[in-house]
Structure 1
Amino acid sequence: MKVTILGSGTAFPDLTRNSAGVLLEHEGRRYLIDCGYGTVHQLLRLNITYHDIDGIFFTHHHPDHMCDLIYFLFGSQYPGDPRTNDLPIVAAPGFRAYFDTLMAAFNHWLVPKTYQVNILEQDEETRDHHGLQVTTARVQHIEMSRGYRFEDARGNSVAISGDTDYHPNMAALGRDADLMVLECATPDAMKVAKHSTPAICGRMAREAGCKTLCLTHFYPPCDDAVLLEECRREFDGNIVLAEDLTAFNF
């Protein structure tokens, strides 16, 4: 299993940090978890195109987590090289209605002609996705927000939060995981409601007992803060501060 942070930033424009997006590669298949601004170009830097993505999982539908879906769908219709493989999209209940509204807003220019988008609404449950056991659970951000755990047949696992404040469900999703990827929007002293800080991420990682904690989704104040020091007050394991294209193999 390989996990690459495509975007370690937020909605704030930044030349070094794209918006939220994670690439998960497993046994020849590639999945996106979120698809924020810059995701498609980051994939191209890895020599991956819209043909090569086997599915998209959304933690929620805020623009900095999904706006490149518009670009992805529109680009996939390029007449000279259209996508032909169906595209599964997994998200919480309510996403199908949102997706239909999005298609209508663009006068159906995004509706595929050479493949199908298959929306799967997955609530708090575990389902098999081509050999990956994918578990979803509510987290503390908006009604549609879900955290994910991906686990393969060998027991390799990664938990990904999307945006969230502290929530025991996220610690449960990360139980003994090889990697937890947690949103860390601001330093502790600048805490924003329904978002996490280094100490909150450290607490969830400690409760989970994960092997490696990756902090991501940084607003600009994080670049000047002592994030590691704040996080290590709660978690004494391996901590990585994400940059765009930071990768993990396990």
Structure 2
Amino acid sequence: MLHDATPCDPPAEDRLILLGTKGGPRPSLLRSNPANLILSEGSAYLVDCGYGTTRQLLLAGVQPHELDAIFITHHHSDHTLELGPLLYQAWVGGLRRPIDVFGPPPLATLINGFFASLWFEIATRMEDEGRSDPRQLVRIHEIDAASVVLETANIRVTAGQVHHPPLRHAFAYRLDTHHRSLILSGDTAMCPGLVALARRADVLVHEVMRVESLPKLVAGLPNALALYAHLLASHTTTEQVGAVAARAEVGTLVLNHFVPGDDPAITEEMWLAAPRRVFEGTVIAGRDLLAV
């Protein structure tokens, strides 16, 4: 069941649905891992494909084979772990036309490697059930620089470089439809490139990290110091995300990819307080299956 966000009623034909809102690869019962669905003009687009995406997609009322395109922001596993399985499910579910997949290198290596790992299963079904070769139904587009990556009569998708060390290639996506402009930040520290990409967009969906909760998140881990340093260098804090929205002059800020995303002690108001101090527009705390 979808939960509508009353502060920002979308046109029925143009919906953004947050399928998974937890940052990081660890699974949780509180939030699913990162994935976002955009429905516009009869087409369906997916941004990122973390663990649990297929189930969340079904809960949103969309079958895998109904997707028109998939956009991957970067190659951390919480954004890509279910990409191969989702493409497989699209194939066995009756995919009849090619699906386009966009993302930074080594996107082709990852997808082809998945199909290679499952080739016995695939070959068996092709011979026994008369199925087509799934590799012919996936069009892979590797992105290595900021650019317009997809443009049709109904949508324009622009990839913008963001700052997510140590990865060289990490992108945010701007989707301009006839109805609204939507920005999906992916994972990023605060950076001018994202502000420029998001300029005067209707909706900015941006990752967020609560610094005060990081010690509890990394406590007891053997790599605690290194992980803590990575988080501080690679993500945007609750204080910074409001500044990004304000500088970009967006209409609505939707918090997403919560770090930590599995701590029930952090209330919605705790996530919203800092962004609201510096951004005068609407701020929404995302949750799984929220439609904006």
Q: Using a 3 Å threshold, how does the CA distance of structure 1 residues 102 and 83 change in structure 2: closer, same or farther?
A: same
Deviations 1:113-165, CA, capped at 9 Å, x for gaps: 255110112331124432311111111112121011111245x2001111111
Unaligned runs of 5+ in 1: none
Alignment partner for residue 204 of structure 2, among 163, 180, 200?
Answer: 180
* 2:150 matches 1:150: no
User: 5 Å matches for 1:231-242?
Assistant: 231-242=275-286
Q: CA deviation at 1:57?
A: 0.5
Q: Given that residues 8 and 20 in structure 1 are in contact (C-alpha distance below 8 angstroms), is that contact kept between their aligned partners in structure 2? A: yes
Deviations 1:206-245, CA, capped at 9 Å, x for gaps: 1100000001111234851612111123212110000101
Q: Which amino acid aligns with 2:49?
A: C
User: In the alignment, what sits opposite 2:194?
Assistant: 170
Q: 1: CA distance between counterparts of 2:181 and 2:121? A: 37
* 2:110 matches 1:82: no
SS of 2:65 mapped into structure 1:
coil
Size of the alignment, in residue pairs?
A: 245
User: In the alignment, what sits opposite 1:159?
Assistant: 183
Q: 2: CA distance between counterparts of 1:188 and 1:120? A: 39
User: In the alignment, what sits opposite 1:92?
Assistant: 104
For the pair shown, the structure with the greater C-alpha radius of gyration is 2
State percent identity of aligned pairs: 30
Q: Given that residues 187 and 227 in structure 1 are in contact (C-alpha distance below 8 angstroms), is that contact kept between their aligned partners in structure 2? A: no
Q: Given that residues 186 and 192 in structure 1 are in contact (C-alpha distance below 8 angstroms), is that contact kept between their aligned partners in structure 2? A: no
User: In the alignment, what sits opposite 1:13?
Assistant: 27
In proportion to residue count, which structure has more helix? 2
Q: 2: CA distance between counterparts of 1:243 and 1:223? A: 15
Report which structure shows greater RCO (CA 8 Å, sep ≥6).
2
Unaligned runs of 5+ in 2: 1-13, 124-131, 215-230
User: In the alignment, what sits opposite 2:155?
Assistant: 132
Q: Given that residues 34 and 66 in structure 1 are in contact (C-alpha distance below 8 angstroms), is that contact kept between their aligned partners in structure 2? A: yes
SS of 1:166 mapped into structure 2:
coil
Q: 2: CA distance between counterparts of 1:94 and 1:126? A: 19
SS of 1:3 mapped into structure 2:
strand
User: 5 Å matches for 1:1-250?
Assistant: 1-10=14-23, 11-78=25-92, 81-107=93-119, 113=133, 115-122=136-143, 123-130=145-152, 131-141=154-164, 142-153=167-178, 156-187=180-211, 190=214, 192-218=232-258, 219=260, 220-221=262-263, 224=266, 226-248=270-292
Q: 1: CA distance between counterparts of 2:103 and 2:26? A: 24
Task: Give the TM-score normalised by structure 1.
Answer: 0.89
Q: Given that residues 94 and 144 in structure 1 are in contact (C-alpha distance below 8 angstroms), is that contact kept between their aligned partners in structure 2? A: no
Q: Using a 3 Å threshold, how does the CA distance of structure 1 residues 137 and 188 change in structure 2: closer, same or farther?
A: farther
Q: Using a 3 Å threshold, how does the CA distance of structure 1 residues 222 and 15 change in structure 2: closer, same or farther?
A: closer
Q: Given that residues 163 and 183 in structure 1 are in contact (C-alpha distance below 8 angstroms), is that contact kept between their aligned partners in structure 2? A: yes
Q: CA deviation at 1:109?
A: 5.2
Q: Given that residues 72 and 80 in structure 2 are in contact (C-alpha distance below 8 angstroms), is that contact kept between their aligned partners in structure 1? A: yes
Q: Using a 3 Å threshold, how does the CA distance of structure 1 residues 110 and 63 change in structure 2: closer, same or farther?
A: farther
Greater Cα shift, 94-103 or 35-44: 94-103
Q: 2: CA distance between counterparts of 1:43 and 1:170? A: 27
